[in-house]
Amino acid sequence: MTVRIAGWSGPRNISTAMMRSWDSRPDCVVVDEPFYACYLLESGADHPMRDDIIASQPGTRAAVVDALSARSSAALQYEKHMTHHMPRGVDLSWTRSLKHVFLIRSPERVIASYRQKMPSVSAEDIGIIRQRELFDEITAITGKRPPVVDSLDILNDPAHMLRQLCVALDVPWCEGAMTHWKVGSRSTDGVWASHWYGAVESSTQFSSPPSSASQLDETDHALAADMMVHYEAMAAFKLS
């Protein structure tokens, strides 16, 4: 029986590198943002490659859940999920039987990275509030608090943090496989990869941690400050 792992992250948070890490395991298949098309159809959000994304995935949440639940020969299935793709009130009953991990990053670093790709940024865009809500909702649904990992901790010591995560998820540690991968794109990458995944496609491992956060303008700095309470609520439970 395949063990399904849902990785919950906001954008610009090494979530694609984490997907590469799991994909490099010989016993794991990965799924890239399966609810992206649903989110675009429901919200009307104008994202790069919107039409291509909608054409590439099922357009209903029920169809996505069916696809995720399909029988697989792999021991593990890692699902990369964006928190803002899960609006309030959406049915989360399909998450009950999954294992979960929440990937967090300091708001100022998220905002600085997002600004490199998009002309504006809002609280809804970066999904930190929704991530905290989902953390509480999934804790209630599953009856256990999911492990939390901070992206900066992973970048500082990938092998140590990923080994801890495997222990927390009760899955075998795969020595060497999760810290290095082959350069290039993957057939499992979403069609949006050409816009967002340039750095990861040229990588073979997690990057070095940044020396400092980029400087934000006054508006973005205020947004980062507003998001800190939500980030810190999850960071209180992070693996160390």
Tokens 């999934």 correspond to: 138
Summarised one tens digit per residue, pLDDT across range 180-212 is 999 999 999 999 999 889 999 999 999 988 776
Summarised one tens digit per residue, pLDDT across range 11-66 is 889 999 999 999 999 999 999 999 999 999 999 999 999 999 999 999 999 999 99
Q: What is the mean pLDDT of the chain?
A: 94
pLDDT at 213: 65
Average pLDDT over residues 62-86: 96
Q: Is 120 exposed, middle or buried (0-12, 13-18, 19+ CB in 10 A)?
A: exposed
Q: What is the pTM of this model?
A: 0.94
Q: List Cβ neighbours of 161 (8 Å cut-off, separation of 6 or more).
A: 149, 153, 154, 239
Summarised one tens digit per residue, pLDDT across range 170-182 is 999 998 899 999 9
- For the chain, list the domains and their CATH numbers: 3-235 (3.40.50)
Distance CA 26, CA 175 (A): 11
- How far is residue 166 from each of residues 5, 149, 216, 227, measured CA to CA in Å? 11, 11, 35, 28
Whether 74 contacts 27, CB under 8 Å: yes
Tokens of 166: 């495997």
pLDDT at 80: 98
Average pLDDT over residues 210-230: 88
Amino acid type, 77: Q
Would you say residue 105 has pLDDT above 70?
yes
